[in-house]
Structure 1
Amino acid sequence: MTTYQVRPAADKDADAVAAVHASSSHAAYEAVAPEGVQSLPMEKRRAFWRDAIEYGEPLVHVALEGSKIIGFVGYDRSRDPKSKPTTGEIWALYVDPARWDTGAGLALWDAAREGLIEEGCTEVTVWMPLCNERALRFLELAGFKRELNTAKTAVMGGVKLEEIRLKRPLD
C-alpha cells in the first residue's frame, strides 16, 4: 500500500477536488446511472467545493500523490435532523479511480476520523447507495455497521437509488 500525504484543502484545490468528484462518481455509478452522475455541470461542482473549502462546511481534506490531488474527504457534524450533537458525518469520500485499492481512501478516512474526534464527536455516520458495493465494503472494513431501518430513496442525476446510513463509534 502506498502512503499518501493528507492535508486540509486550500482554495486553490477546488478544481482538482471537483475533477476527482466527477471521475470517481462516474466510475462508481456508471453501471446504474450512466448519464445521471455526470449531469451535474463541472462549474456547479467547482462552485460547491470552492464554497465548502472557503467556508469549512464541510471540512475538506485532500490526499496527495506528490503534488497531485488524488482524493478528498468532506466531513462535519451530522446533517440528520434527529442526530446527537456529538455525531459527525462523512459527507463525501472520493478517490481517483486509478488509485482505488492503494490506501488513499484509508488515509482520508483516518484524517476525517481524527478531525471529528478533535471536534468532540463520539460517533460518525455516512449515507451510501446500496448499489455502491465497493464503497460499502470499504466502510464495513473501516468498522461501519449498516443501520437497516434507515433505508431511503435518493435521486442522483434523475436516477432513483436506494441509500442506507452506516454508523460507527469514533473510539
Structure 2
Amino acid sequence: MSDYEVRPAVLRDAKAIAEVHAAAARAAYADVLPEDQLRALAPATREAKWREAIEYAEPQVHVAVLGEEVVGFVGFDRSRDPKTPSTTGEIWAIYVRPDHWGQGVGVALWDAAREGLEEEGCTVVTVWVPLRNDRALRFHELAGFKREMKTAKTTSLGDVRIEEIRLKRNV
C-alpha cells in the first residue's frame, strides 16, 4: 500500500507543480542540456502554464501528494497529434520529484491518467519521450507502451535539438 495519494490538481497546486516540473526536468536533462539552459528550467517559467492548465482542464492535471506535499504530477487529454482519432489520448507530461523516483509515484500517476482517459472514451494512449531520456523510456515500456519507430522527430529545447519518439499502448 502506497503512502501517495493521487487527486485532481487545484489552482493552489500550480506553484508546487512548477517546482516538481523544473526539478525533474533539470535531473532528467542533466546530461543533455548545457548548464545555463538547465538553470533556465526555473519554476517561475512554468507556474502560469500549469495554473492555466488546471483552470481550463487542458490538459487534465492530477497530482501525487505525500501528506500535503506535491511530489509528482501528470497532464493528460486527447492526443495533440494531427489526424489521430478522438479515441486516442495522450500523456502530455508526467514528472516526479527526483527524490521520489523509483517509489511508485509514476505508476500511481499513470494509473490515474489511464482511468481518466478511459472515462473520456479513449481506447489508445500515446506519449512523446526524448530518446536520450532512458529513465522515461524504461518507465513507459514497463507500463506496456511500445515504441512507434516511424514517429521519431526532432524538437528544440532551448538551443539543443532533441530526438523524440512516440510510444503507444491500449488504455
- What TM-score does the superposition give when structure 1 sets the normalisation length? 0.96
Distance in 1, matches of 2:64 and 2:165, equals: 26
Query: Equivalents in 1 of 2:37, 2:90: separation in Å?
Result: 24
Letter aligned with residue 163 of structure 1? E
Match in the other structure for 1:105: 106
Aligned to 1:141: 142
The correspondence of residues 86-101 of structure 1 with structure 2, limited to 5 A, is 86-101=87-102
Residue 63 (structure 2) aligns with: 62
User: What's the counterpart of residue 31 of structure 2?
Assistant: 31
**Partner-residue secondary structure (3-state), 2:46:** helix
Please give the alpha-carbon distance, in whole angstroms, between the structure 2 residues aligned to 1:83 and 1:39: 33
Superimposed CA distance per residue, residues 102-155 of structure 1 (whole angstroms, 9 cap, x where no aligned partner): 000000000000000000000000000000000100000000000000000011
**For residues 41 and 3 of structure 1, do their structure 2 counterparts lie closer, same or farther at Cα, with a shift above 3 Å needed?**
closer
Q: Secondary structure at the match of 1:6?
A: strand
- Contact between 1:3 and 1:104, CA under 8 Å: does it hold in 2? no
Question: Cα RMSD (Å) of the superposition?
Answer: 1.2
Farther-moved stretch of structure 1 (35-44 vs 77-86): 35-44
Deviation track 1:41-86 (CA, whole Å, cap 9, x = no partner) reads 5333001000000000000000001110000000000000111110
Instruction: Please show how residues 1-171 of structure 1 align to structure 2 within 5 Å.
Output: 2-34=2-34, 35-170=36-171
Distance 2:9 2:147 in 1: 29
Matched positions, count: 170
Q: Residue 37 and residue 5 in structure 1: after superposition, are their counterparts in 2 closer, same or farther (change >3 A)? A: same
User: CA–CA distance in 1 between the matches of 2:54 and 2:114?
Assistant: 18
SS at match of 1:146: strand
Quick one: distance in 2 between partners of 1:115 and 1:50?
20
Whether contact under 8 Å (2:89, 2:125) holds in the other structure is yes
Give the letter for the 2:99 counterpart. Answer: A
**Which of structures 1 and 2 has the larger relative contact order (alpha carbons within 8 angstroms, sep 6+)?**
1
* Structure 1 residue 38, shift from structure 2 partner: 4.0
Compared CA separation, residues 40 and 134, structure 1 to 2 (3 A): closer
Q: Aligned-pair distance for 1:21? A: 0.1
